[in-house]
Amino acid sequence: MPLVKADLNFNIMAGQLNRVKTTNDLELKDRLVAINRVTKVTKGGRAFSFSAIVVVGNEDGIVGWGLGKAGEVTAAISKGAEAAKKNLIRVPVYKGTIPHEQFAKYSGAKVIIKPATLGTGVNAGGAMRAVLESAGVTDVVAKSLGSSNPHNMVKATIKALSELRDAYMVSQNRGISVERVFKG
């Protein structure tokens, strides 16, 4: 089935619908995903700086990511955490898992996340695990395809989570009751 322009517009809108506006009353925990030392060669020698990708979440359906760059590691991490708090989305989490299977691609990184039964745990690696645990997902099976670059992995995982829709959101979009979503 080919992609239609309406499908593309919906995917863009799905990410915008899940945005979280205020962060004042949220208790967010930050998680460091990756740190990178960057070297800039100038005529005076080498200048070192650090970049850090940080994921924040309240472990109850809200998650965000941010990139911080600074001359010191601690400053880069704190800048990343502040950037992440400005970039939050709401994730539909039901009984510790996600409502349906989802595939997303960002640059070279591709991710597949699938719901799992209670007790499975977070079956994901690296950057995906940090994002899913920060979102409050406790049972999920996830697979990373393509690039393992942590920056792209975090962005692909966030994109997949932002495209998730629960039964209530589907019923709102279609203008029908929640029971009709399941029974047709």
Q: pLDDT tens-digit profile of 121-167? A: 999 988 999 999 999 999 999 999 999 999 999 999 999 999 999 88
CA-to-CA distance for 43 and 124, rounded, in angstroms? Answer: 44
pLDDT of residue 182: 79
pLDDT of residue 141: 95
pLDDT of residue 27: 87
- Eight-state DSSP code of residue 72: S
**Three-state DSSP state, 166:** coil
pTM, two decimals, is 0.85
Query: Residue 148 contacts by C-beta under 8 Å, 6 or more apart in sequence?
Result: 109, 126
Query: Residue 113 contacts by C-beta under 8 Å, 6 or more apart in sequence?
Result: 98, 101, 102, 124, 128, 132, 140, 141, 142, 157, 160, 161
Instruction: Tell me what the mean pLDDT of segment 107-114 comes to.
Output: 94
CA distances for 4 relative to 10, 101, 125, 126, 173, angstroms: 10, 21, 33, 33, 18
pLDDT higher for 2 or 120? 120
